[in-house]
């Protein structure tokens, strides 16, 4: 296993017995026929089940609708892409020339799909309990922060309500960069508090999605204290 893959596996928290599974999980369809789409299919199902199980356990009085909204918030594309960036997954992706030119390593959809594929690869490499442990470790901070009463609110709304409750001014969002072709752009947006030297960044396939990603990161900073 090369140095980059070893670093990724170490940060992920799983030592692969079958390196080929990890390589496949990190291979986009633009790179070749032996890509991560099948592992993504498996990882998506695994992730949905593990998150549903832990939510059922942690929120014994929540109804089906609330549980579904919480799960959707945790496993949506932007949330998975943010987790993938925490792992620096984009740096080890194998992409075709076209995707490399248009910034595919930073695209939410590609990052989210690859992370699901990685979870699927862990399952095939070491079984359900190990895969479950890896998923829960990755989602630990988000699971600790999720609130059943806020499950239907997007990150910008939750950040606004948090700041208003603390009698603090609303944040300022600024577009820092726009990359890619007109029909396939990646936005990078900052979220900065006006009364403190705190700033986060988020990326997404639209300005709105990038703002939501930056707001989510700001909420995490504020909740850590």
Write out pLDDT tens, residues 151-201.
667 889 889 988 988 899 999 999 999 988 777 788 999 999 988 889 999
Dig out the tokens for 66 from the structure. Answer: 């609330």
Using DSSP, state whether 161 is helix, strand or coil.
helix
Residue pair 203/148 in contact (Cβ under 8 Å)? The answer is: no
Length of the chain (residues): 225
- pLDDT digit string (tens) for 63-115? 898 899 889 889 988 889 989 999 999 999 999 998 888 888 888 899 999 99
pLDDT at 126: 97
Domain that holds residue 196: 156-224
Dig out the tokens for 79 from the structure. Answer: 């949330």
Query: Do 119 and 164 lie in a common domain?
Result: no
Q: State yes or no: 91 annotated in a binding site.
A: no
* CATH number of the domain enclosing 68: 1.10.1520.10
**pLDDT beyond 80 at 136:** yes
* pLDDT top residue among 69 and 211: 211
Query: Do 79 and 188 lie in a common domain?
Result: no
Q: Catalytic residue positions? A: 44, 116
Q: State yes or no: 116 annotated in a binding site.
A: yes
**pLDDT beyond 70 at 150:** no
Query: Do 92 and 170 lie in a common domain?
Result: no
Q: What percent of the chain has pLDDT over 70?
A: 97
Query: Do 139 and 65 lie in a common domain?
Result: yes
Query: Do 74 and 176 lie in a common domain?
Result: no
> Under 8 Å CB-to-CB from 82, ≥6 apart: which residues?
202, 213, 216, 217
Rounded to an integer, the average pLDDT of 26-35 is 94
**What is the torsional sign of CA 69, 110, 42, 7?**
negative
Residue that is last in its domain, among 132, 148, 164: 148
Between 128-138 and 108-126, two packed helices, what is the crossing angle to 10 degrees? 140
Of the pLDDT bands very low, low, confident and very high (cuts 50, 70, 90), residue 225 is low
Residue that is last in its domain, among 105, 130, 148: 148
pLDDT at 26: 97
DSSP state of 91: G
Average pLDDT, the chain: 91
């Amino acid at each position: 296993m090369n140095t980059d893959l070893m670093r990724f596996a170490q940060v992920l928290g799983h030592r692969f017995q079958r390196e080929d599974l990890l390589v496949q999980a990190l291979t986009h369809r633009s790179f070749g026929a032996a890509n991560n789409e099948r592992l993504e299919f498996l990882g998506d199902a695994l992730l949905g089940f593990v998150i549903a199980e832990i939510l059922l356990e942690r929120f014994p009085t929540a109804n089906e609708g609330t549980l579904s909204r919480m799960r959707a918030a945790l496993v949506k594309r932007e949330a998975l892409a943010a987790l993938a960036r925490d792992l620096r997954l984009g740096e080890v992706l194998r992409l075709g020339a076209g995707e490399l030119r248009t910034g595919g390593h930073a695209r939410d959809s590609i990052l989210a799909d690859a992370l699901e594929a990685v979870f699927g690869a862990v399952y095939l490499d070491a079984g359900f309990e190990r895969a479950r442990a890896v998923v829960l470790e990755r989602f630990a901070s988000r699971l600790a922060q999720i609130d059943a009463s806020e499950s239907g609110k997007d990150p910008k709304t939750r950040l606004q309500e948090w700041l208003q409750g603390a009698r603090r001014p609303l944040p300022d969002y600024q577009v820092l960069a726009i990359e890619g072709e007109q029909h396939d752009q990646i936005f990078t947006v900052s979220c900065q508090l006006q009364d403190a030297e705190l700033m986060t960044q988020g990326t997404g396939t639209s300005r709105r999605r990038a703002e939501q990603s930056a707001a989510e990161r700001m909420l995490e900073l504020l909740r850590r204290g």
